[in-house]
Structure 1
Amino acid sequence: MADIQALLSALDVFSRAPDRASLEKANAWLQDFQHSPEAWTTCNLLLRSDDAPAAAKLFAAQTFRSKVTYDLLQVDPENLFSLRDTIIAALQYYKNGPRTIIVQLCLALSGLALQLPTWENAVGGLLDSLGQDPSTVPVLLQFLTVLPEELTGNTKIPVTDQEYRERSEQLLTASAPRVLSILSVYVKAPGVTHAVQSQIFSCLRSWLVAGEITTTALGDTPLFDFCFEALASPQLFDSAVDVVCDLIHETQEIEDNMPIIERIVPKVIALRSKLAAAKEDPEQTRGYARIFTEAGETYRFLVLHHTETFFPIVEAIGECSAYGDLDIVPITFPFWMRLAQSIGKRVSVSPLFYEAYRSLMAVVVAHLHFPAESSALTGQELDDFRSFRHVMGDTLKDCCYVLGTEQCLATTLDSITVALGRGASATWQDIEAPLFAMRSMGAEIDANDNKVVPKIMDLIPTLPQHPRVRYAALLIISRYTEWINMHSDYIPPSLQYISDGFGYSDTEVIGAAGQALKYLCQDCKQHLVAFLPQLHTFLGTVGPKLPQEDKVVVYEAISYVISAMPMEAAAQSLRTFALDILKAVHTVASKPAMATKQELQEVGNGLANLEVMLHTIGSFGEELPAACQSTCEETWVVFDSFIVKYGADYESTEHVTRVLRHGLNLFGNAALGVAPAVLARMSTAFEATGLSSYLWIASKILARFGNEEIPVLRDTFRIVYEHSTNKLVSMLQEKSPASMPDVLEDYIRMLLEMVEYAPDIFFESSAFPIAFRVALSALTLIQSDIIFASLDLIRIILTHDCLSPDALSTPPPKFPLYAQAIRTTIDKEGYELVGLLLSGLVGDFPEESSSTIITIFRMLSALWSAQLLSWLPPILQQLPLTAAPADAKGVFMKDFNDAVTSGQYDKVKYAVLGLHRASRKVRERRRVAPLE
């Protein structure tokens, strides 16, 4: 009774919505309870108690299912049949519900049946014991429904492959004929209810999908006809749709199933007449759409080979595609896609298919129309409709695949021409929808087309000025830029149309103009070089009026044109645009007073524009053009003064360091002259602010110039290493590692570059043991990138060649110093290192980190054998049993000890993997909340 009361108290916590800590405590208690041997008895008492709360009874049933899966070894073999009888008795007790408890008990009984080979004729016995009494038939049907699903889906049940094959043969394959027979009897038994018939359909589906009841065997029973007859029943319609779809799906092996297919297809075609009657009932239409589409997809090769017989299915799917409910229409799209792919592989097909895709295209364009009162749509409805339009756009591409892009474009062009011919009576929707279709088909056009696309491009400037029409037309230009590149006469009118788009007040139109300009410049950059002065003027006049997100797109567009210019001209052009931005930075940095927030925002926007330009252009190569020879030093002077004054402003720092990063790529070795000054400034700026971006850019400079042997540069490597380490230690004294993950990650990544390019500085500095401790602190975070970086650093340290110099013919003279530094540090920090590694292994480390952990343990085993064996027992003792069970700890310690004492260090891998697997198993179990 004490256990029951404690259990009820823990469950009651969930009904009161308390604080998170109370919930987690109660959840942990319930999980521990589920693991315990006492749970069997306690849960049985709860299930049979009339007074127990409903939540407690459900938890008890869930616990039976969980324990049958994970803890059956807790039950003595001689008591397994008693456990079976207990579950069956509970099912009979709950024969009237609730269903949630019945399902859990049926799952438990299924799992037990799989693990209890001495339970002979399990299914037959339950058919006899539960199938004769109408009151227990629903329970029997529920068991028969979940049995195939549990046996094929619950991979956590601990049986071998051979045991599974033998037992599933007995439980499923051998039982299938009798199950099918009894379902056939039940479905039309006197007094049978719709609820039971629906259960029969669910059960039938379960055995069909599992492959245990074949479509041929089903066809020989009254169930086959009843599946289709039940579509006339409102109560059975949904269940019948499900089972008919599964029946069709299971006949995919066409040749093997032709006799049953010949019986299915006429019944499916006969349903077409029901579509008109179901027009006012979306749910009925949805069901018929599912059936027709399943038949169309499954039998599409028959549709192509025997078109006269099967084409009514295609026509029915076409009717469903034309339905007004846009939640139903997409059901048909996969069919049209796959049919188009099949048609494309054939030399010739019936003209009926071309007509079907012409009709489909007209239907899709009609669906693309925004509602007459689109403002009546809520924000979410509008987003959903726009998303749906893009899905329909893919179906238009399927039409292009069958009909040819030229014909599809011509059709949409004709519809716009007709709409324009109606004058004022035409709505903007009548023009915008076919424009959207043209945009969707843009990826399919031939860049050399000289028939339809020129007409479209000539039409665009004449379209109405409505914002939605302008938006759609601009996006057509952005999609057709490869064609425009091959037809450069269209560049000036396109550029003018785009430029006019920036004059609209509608932000979406401005955004579309930016996209169109970007793609035009990207694909037509060679032709646009002559337009660069015009683009510069445009930027000076229109640019200040643009929102920043559109302005940065314009800068990106211009960068594509610059990248197509001869090197000297490109460098001069880049300098021209960059100077406009750098002047603003210099002005703010030179002001006696501190800049306002708005001024800093404008500088940040300018730097973002410069960043995108540098990123797009990339590099001029090894030899800088003359125009860039002095730019690096001049630029750094501007940035240095700006950092001195505003280096504590996070946003400004982010912008500056990102530009520096791209500048490093642009200038390459020409930046070597300023690298020491940049590194020194990064070091002092980090000391002053603790902002991670300074460490980030320092690591990039290390990676770029780490091999250089310039004394002043090497000295700045040491300065940034030691000063940043000291700063980080002081920060960790005030903050937890979890509060500054970005700083820790960028610091660790800087150390990775340091150990790679400057090992002498890394190991010989007094900062090394402190840096190692910082890396250990990073292992306490639950962030994959940081953990991987820290583990990599520790692995590199422990596998450094200095620890095994004999493997080298001539080890460097400094190796003993490196080795001494590593050994001294591991002697001091090894215990904490091992503790963090094991805690992470059985805790929150990413799954992919185990190989690195194994490498680290192998090196510790080889070089710190005695210390490691003394560290492990107390560390293992501290690991929570909820993450590392006691038996798994014991096996790990034995296997590890055997590997180390025998000198077979490679076997350390199996000890670590064994603990990891055991921990993962118990954690996966605990991850399933008790009340699910």
Structure 2
Amino acid sequence: HWQSFLALVNMIMFCTGIPGHYPVNETTSSLTLTFWYTLQDDIMSFEAEKQAVYLQVYRPVYFQLVDVLLHKAQFPTDEEYASWSSDEKDNLYDKLGRLLTNTEQTTTWQHTEALLYGFQSIAETIDVNYSDVIPGLIGLIPRININNIQLADTVMFTIGALAEWLADHPVMLSSVLPLVLQALGNPDLSVSSVSTLKKICRECKYDLPPYATNIVAVSQEVLIKQIHKTSQCMWLMQALGFLLSALPVEEILRNLHSLITPYIQQLEKLSEETPNPSNKLAIIHILGLLSNLFTTLDITKQEEESGENAPPIKSAPPQTGPNPVVVVLQQVFALIQTVLSKWLNDSQVVEAVCAIFEKSVKTLLHDFAPMVSQLSEMLGQMYSTIPQASALDLTRQMVHIFASETNHFPPIKALFELVTSVTLTIFQQGPRDHPDIVDSFMQLQAQALKRKPDLFLSESLDVKAVFHCGLLSLKFPEAPTVKSTCFFFTELIPHCADIPPVGQVVQEDGKLLLLAVLEAIGGQSSRSLMDQFAEVLFCLNKHCFALLTVWLKEALRSPGFPSSRVSDDQKDTFSQQVLRERVNKRRVKDIVKEFTLVCRGLHGTEYAADY
């Protein structure tokens, strides 16, 4: 029946290539794509002999399919495109952006663009390192007569898709890099040119030192001319961070100096002005550029990548002296403090300042050490004046990396105690208006318990007050805050035995925690949070079994608690099931989910099953 089958396949082929532009005046061609995928999968799943037979029959069909798809993927002629309504154009870009057809058979820019688009799609989905056509393609790209924005865009994206291949064939960089740098100056190619440069700088950074001066100069020029929108400026800074990471320290510093100086001068001017909305945007923009640059400027990766497995050519010079990012941060620290002092009331500016240090700490890790003391002091002052969540998040990063280091423990301990005591005051005044602060505070306390439980041994830390803040936070309506608070309790409870103040507060007030957890399970909290509450219950069972046995009995004795819908027998069953599970956390989660449905009157309903 081969002939009949092939006739059927050819009919489907006709449907794939049906005349018209998808989805402007035909919407059926895409329906056939699943068929081609499925047929291909079926053929490839056969054993070798059978596969060979089918491939012989179907290989010509798939060659023809490539032709048909390339034809479909072409833009229309300029005249035809101009005649489309704006709705048709939107429809086109929304649905399948580029799958259009062109009836002329000559090699137009549309034909070239469709071929490049095909290569780009392949490069993004499979490893092209072993492909013998890519060198030819890279060689052809500079010869393309780029006279059209759509074609230029696709050329950029195609080069970007081949960035990993270029890292393995760096000799070809010289033929495509000039195209990318040229495109950077065209606002219409903003997204494609900047994202391509970023990919090249990330993948090929050890081959880029000969081009670094040129890349930095062109980038500086387009940044000064403000050709790109904010998000592309941030990507461009990330690209430069990758690029500089591979240079020797003195060159990094030289480039950083020329790159950053105009912004620092601008920031100095802005810091002297009276705060207003337009200079606020400019300040946030500059701080954003710096933090994006520091996000990717990572010289520590050099040592890792120039280890035993890295090819010798790509090894980086050994580093001595302070990290370049630290050098720059120390130079601008006083200026950033000045900016902060004027904008402490503005959470967005404070966030932008914290982001610079947070990104730097995350990237530099222990190399950030020289800044710990002055940053801890600044954070303490900031938070004491006007508490904001971003300052707590940065404190958490600092605790995470430096709390375990003896010589950095004193400033970190002082900062941790200060922000804790300031936050306790917020709780006394009423924390409801600050769910973000409460959320970040709970995450900070959990991180401290995880990284350096000794912080809870301090006489200056009111562990009982922190525990009671946790009880209040469990009742917040915001899910992220409740999750962070449950995380805090699951980190706190295991320290009952080894940290006396924790043991004491759990002994005295642990029953209040159990009551809060049971209220939540009884219907006070969203069902989506039941896993988190189950973890707290499991923790209590594992570390305070004797106490939990008594507390559960007392708590569940109250009529109508935690819900009027549960009988005494159901409460007893729940209590026994929980106390039995001291190893299997998954089982406790199932028990809690079952019990919360009963408490809410949803047990056995379709609504419960759908959830």
Tell me what 2:312 maps to. Answer: none
Q: Pick the aligned partner of 2:504 from 807, 815, 820.
A: 820
1:826-865 equivalences under 5 Å are: 826=510, 829-830=512-513, 832-839=515-522, 843-849=526-532, 851-858=534-541, 859=543, 861-863=545-547, 865=549
Following superposition, the deviation at residue 564 of structure 1 comes to 2.5
Paired with 1:514 and 1:601, the residues of 2 have a C-alpha distance of: 22
Paired with 1:897 and 1:459, the residues of 2 have a C-alpha distance of: 72
Following superposition, the deviation at residue 368 of structure 1 comes to 1.8
Deviations 1:404-443 (A, max 9, x none): xxxxxxxx9xx999735xxxxx5x5444333322322334
Following superposition, the deviation at residue 698 of structure 1 comes to 0.7
Give the residue type in structure 2 aligned to 1:638: L
Tell me what 1:337 maps to. Answer: 37
SS at match of 1:419: coil
Paired with 2:208 and 2:235, the residues of 1 have a C-alpha distance of: 16
Q: Pick the aligned partner of 2:434 from 740, 747, 750.
A: 740
Q: Pick the aligned partner of 2:155 from 473, 481, 500.
A: 473
User: How large is the RMSD of aligned CA atoms in angstroms?
Assistant: 3.8
Give the residue type in structure 2 aligned to 1:333: L
Following superposition, the deviation at residue 719 of structure 1 comes to 1.6
Tell me what 1:419 maps to. Answer: 106
Q: Pick the aligned partner of 1:916 from 583, 593, 609.
A: 593
Give the residue type in structure 2 aligned to 1:854: L
Following superposition, the deviation at residue 853 of structure 1 comes to 3.4
Paired with 1:667 and 1:845, the residues of 2 have a C-alpha distance of: 37
Is it true that 1:323 corresponds to 2:323 in the alignment?
no
Q: Pick the aligned partner of 1:588 from 270, 276, 286.
A: 270
Is it true that 1:871 corresponds to 2:551 in the alignment?
no
Following superposition, the deviation at residue 726 of structure 1 comes to 1.7
Tell me what 1:693 maps to. Answer: 390
Tell me what 1:749 maps to. Answer: 443
Label 1:465 to 1:731 Cα distance change in 2 as closer, same or farther (>3 A): farther
Q: Is the 8 A contact 1:779 1:836 kept in 2?
A: no
1:405-444 equivalences under 5 Å are: 419-420=106-107, 426=108, 428-443=109-124, 444=126
Give the residue type in structure 1 aligned to 2:571: F
Give the residue type in structure 2 aligned to 1:537: A
Higher RCO (CA 8 Å, separation ≥ 6 residues):
2
Is it true that 1:620 corresponds to 2:330 in the alignment?
no
Q: How many residues align?
A: 568
Label 1:378 to 1:719 Cα distance change in 2 as closer, same or farther (>3 A): same
Q: Pick the aligned partner of 1:358 from 43, 63, 78.
A: 63
Following superposition, the deviation at residue 917 of structure 1 comes to 0.8
Is it true that 1:528 corresponds to 2:221 in the alignment?
no
1:149-168 equivalences under 5 Å are: none
Give the residue type in structure 2 aligned to 1:779: L
Give the residue type in structure 2 aligned to 1:332: T
Tell me what 1:562 maps to. Answer: 244
SS at match of 2:194: helix
Paired with 2:372 and 2:244, the residues of 1 have a C-alpha distance of: 27
Paired with 2:537 and 2:205, the residues of 1 have a C-alpha distance of: 52
Deviates more, 1:613-622 or 1:598-607: 613-622
Is it true that 1:657 corresponds to 2:354 in the alignment?
yes
Deviations 1:601-627 (A, max 9, x none): 223222222222222233537976456
Q: Is the 8 A contact 2:284 2:349 kept in 1?
A: yes
Q: Pick the aligned partner of 1:776 from 471, 484, 499.
A: 471
Label 1:419 to 1:552 Cα distance change in 2 as closer, same or farther (>3 A): farther
Tell me what 1:388 maps to. Answer: 96
SS at match of 2:106: helix
Q: Pick the aligned partner of 2:486 from 775, 791, 796.
A: 791
Following superposition, the deviation at residue 389 of structure 1 comes to 5.0
Following superposition, the deviation at residue 851 of structure 1 comes to 4.0
Paired with 1:912 and 1:608, the residues of 2 have a C-alpha distance of: 42
Is it true that 1:891 corresponds to 2:591 in the alignment?
no
SS at match of 1:886: coil
Is it true that 1:515 corresponds to 2:195 in the alignment?
yes
Q: Is the 8 A contact 2:167 2:204 kept in 1?
A: yes
Label 1:831 to 1:389 Cα distance change in 2 as closer, same or farther (>3 A): closer
SS at match of 1:923: coil
Give the residue type in structure 1 aligned to 2:594: R
Give the residue type in structure 2 aligned to 1:382: D
Q: Pick the aligned partner of 1:313 from 8, 15, 28.
A: 8
Paired with 1:342 and 1:561, the residues of 2 have a C-alpha distance of: 45
Following superposition, the deviation at residue 385 of structure 1 comes to 4.6
Paired with 1:503 and 1:757, the residues of 2 have a C-alpha distance of: 48
Q: Is the 8 A contact 1:679 1:720 kept in 2?
A: no
Tell me what 2:340 maps to. Answer: 643
The percent of aligned pairs where both chains have the same amino acid is 14
SS at match of 2:527: coil
Q: Is the 8 A contact 1:559 1:616 kept in 2?
A: yes
Unpaired runs of 5+ in structure 2? Answer: 304-318
Is it true that 1:501 corresponds to 2:183 in the alignment?
yes
Deviates more, 1:532-541 or 1:566-575: 566-575
SS at match of 1:323: coil
Following superposition, the deviation at residue 684 of structure 1 comes to 3.1
Deviates more, 1:743-752 or 1:352-361: 352-361
Q: Is the 8 A contact 2:521 2:533 kept in 1?
A: no
Tell me what 2:420 maps to. Answer: 721
Following superposition, the deviation at residue 660 of structure 1 comes to 0.3
Give the residue type in structure 1 aligned to 2:424: T
Following superposition, the deviation at residue 694 of structure 1 comes to 0.6
TM-score calculated relative to the size of structure 1 = 0.55
Paired with 2:250 and 2:322, the residues of 1 have a C-alpha distance of: 7
Give the residue type in structure 2 aligned to 1:419: T
Q: Is the 8 A contact 2:392 2:440 kept in 1?
A: yes
Deviates more, 1:793-802 or 1:829-838: 829-838
Paired with 2:377 and 2:183, the residues of 1 have a C-alpha distance of: 47
Label 1:387 to 1:667 Cα distance change in 2 as closer, same or farther (>3 A): same
Deviations 1:487-518 (A, max 9, x none): 54543442222233233342xx2211112222
Paired with 1:609 and 1:452, the residues of 2 have a C-alpha distance of: 35
Deviations 1:557-612 (A, max 9, x none): 222222223455445544553455444434433x1x32443333223222222222
Paired with 1:720 and 1:549, the residues of 2 have a C-alpha distance of: 33
Q: Is the 8 A contact 2:552 2:575 kept in 1?
A: no
Label 1:523 to 1:860 Cα distance change in 2 as closer, same or farther (>3 A): closer
